């Protein structure tokens, strides 16, 4: 699973432009976040990586992709903290995080980390 990090301008209509490009190509968004910083971005996770890539290229949008690590956590207080502490103790930096969904007793979380292999070993 991949996260798409789309560079946008800091002005009205940028979210509409990105979401319209995806909708026009039949891409469903599973998770979305944005950051308004020096270089504003929208981060998305979709149900179809190839169509997402194609839609963004077709719309002439600048983007990069990151591998996501998907983790199931127990849905109770402190579980995310435990996971974050384990990664931090091992020197793994969490670059972004999304909640993808919730079940009756679990929460599905997707992470972009700076060391995928090490994080995988720690969390699996």
pLDDT confidence of residue 36: 86
Long-range contacts of 92-100 (CB under 8 A, 24+ apart): 92/118, 92/119, 92/122, 95/66, 96/3, 96/33, 96/43, 96/66, 98/3, 98/31, 98/33, 98/43, 98/45, 98/68, 99/31, 100/30, 100/31, 100/45, 100/70
Is-above-0.85 flag for pTM? Answer: yes
- In whole numbers, what is the pLDDT of the chain averaged over residues? 95
Residues 85-108: what's their mean pLDDT?
95
pLDDT confidence of residue 81: 97
pLDDT per residue as tens digits for the range 37-71: 889 999 999 999 999 999 999 999 999 999 999 99
Q: What are phi and psi of 90, to 5 degrees?
A: -95, 5
Q: 67 and 112 in contact (C-beta within 8 Å)? A: yes
Q: Does pLDDT of 25 surpass 90?
A: yes
Q: Does pLDDT of 92 surpass 90?
A: yes
pLDDT confidence of residue 114: 96
Residue of 68, 8, 57 lying closest to 34 (CA atoms): 8
- The first and second tokens of residue 53, run together, are 């890539």
* Count of residues making up the chain: 124
Residues 11-23: what's their mean pLDDT?
96
Q: Does pLDDT of 26 surpass 90?
A: yes
pLDDT confidence of residue 23: 96
Domains identified in the chain and CATH numbers: 2-66 (3.30.2130.10), 68-123 (3.30.2130.10)
What is the 8-class DSSP label of residue 12? T
Q: Does pLDDT of 3 surpass 90?
A: yes
């Amino acid at each position: 699973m991949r996260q798409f990090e789309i560079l946008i301008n800091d002005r009205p209509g940028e979210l509409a432009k990105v979401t319209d490009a995806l909708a026009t190509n039949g891409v469903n968004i599973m998770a979305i976040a944005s950051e308004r910083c020096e270089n504003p971005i929208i981060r998305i996770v979709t149900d179809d990586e190839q169509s997402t890539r194609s839609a963004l290229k077709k719309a002439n949008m600048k983007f990069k992709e990151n591998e996501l690590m998907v983790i199931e956590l127990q849905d109770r207080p402190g579980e995310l903290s435990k996971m974050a502490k384990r990664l931090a103790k091992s020197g793994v930096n969490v670059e972004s995080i999304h909640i993808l969904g919730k079940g009756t007793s679990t929460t599905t979380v997707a992470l972009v980390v700076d060391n995928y292999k090490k994080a995988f070993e720690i969390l699996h």
